[in-house]
Amino acid sequence: MTMPPRYDDLPRPAGDPTGLPLSWGAWGPDDQVGTLNRITAATVAAAREEIRDGRRFNLNLPLDEPFGAALPGAHRRRDAPHPVMVAEEHPGRVTRDDRLDGFWLQASTQWDGLSHFADPTHGFYNHAPLASIVHGADSRNGIDKALAHGIAGRCVMADLARHFARTGRDWGPMGGRRATAEDLAACLAADGVALRPGDILLVRTGWLAAFRAAPDVAARHLLLQGEGGARDYSGLDGAEPMWRFLWDAGIAAVAADNPTVEAWPIFPWKPALHLAIARLGLCLGEFFDLEALAEDSAQTGRRTAFFAASPLHLRGGIGSPGNAMAIR
């Protein structure tokens, strides 16, 4: 694997309205998986040491959560899928089949593919033209490329909700509160864990716990829509110090328990982790169920585990259900 430059050595195109760097070409002109290149045979093999007693943790929400647990219109277009069961009963043969109608691939636990978010000036990651973002074998940056590369290795839990609770920091799942790179580093240091290249960073903001603790469907809807539709989720700060921190730490992917990983809303021409999908090839995962793993981390003091995920093999897919688990 080509070793990428340090963050501050990445090129910054002249006249770019954001002033932000581009990692395009860091892993070659034909690369289509971005920061997942940090996952190598060596990092995966080293992560096998995380499996000690074979305990397994599902990290996926039910496909009808969260949108099926809120009022209609919680998202401007996405909704929970509708399962349809097909029954056949004949003499000597009884079967059942099923399908999902209205199945949005990013309406529950999900990966954002590198074709999900483009830079408004430069386009999709690594010079992929808009016309190349299609379904099929000729696609660029599709989620099938992430599947072919493989998402596996050591994961590290950053339980920001617990960290802020014990340090007295004002924090909640809504209100657009921002956890800076310094906050993230302090959380990891307090838990005694150091990041390694190829790690999958799991960030617990507490959003999912609040969603599940909400007393009724209207309260859950509010956690998706925000007051007056503001969608002001708390999360990681998407400013440039976070870009530098994640890049120089060698993070392969960041997955969180909230709707957007980063604090929301984001603004045009301003740094955001979603913009880093295009500019850095950053792999993001949203709506991950980290509750059981985080509780186990709190009880045992272990913040790491073996992680594996298999996105759908949809050629040119923009995103995919997470299909993820952690093993200790």
pLDDT at 2 over 80: no
- Reported as a single tens digit per residue, the pLDDT across 82-93 is 999 999 999 999
In terms of Cβ atoms closer than 10 Å to its own Cβ (0-12, 13-18, 19+), residue 215 is: exposed
- Dump pLDDT digits (tens) for 100-152: 999 999 999 999 999 999 999 999 999 999 999 999 999 999 999 999 999 99
Cβ burial, residue 19 (10 Å; 0-12/13-18/19+): exposed
Q: Both ends of the chain: CA-CA distance in Å?
A: 28
When the pLDDT of each residue in the chain is averaged and rounded to a whole number, the result is: 97
pLDDT in tens, 238-297: 999 999 999 999 999 999 999 999 999 999 999 999 999 999 999 999 999 999 999 999
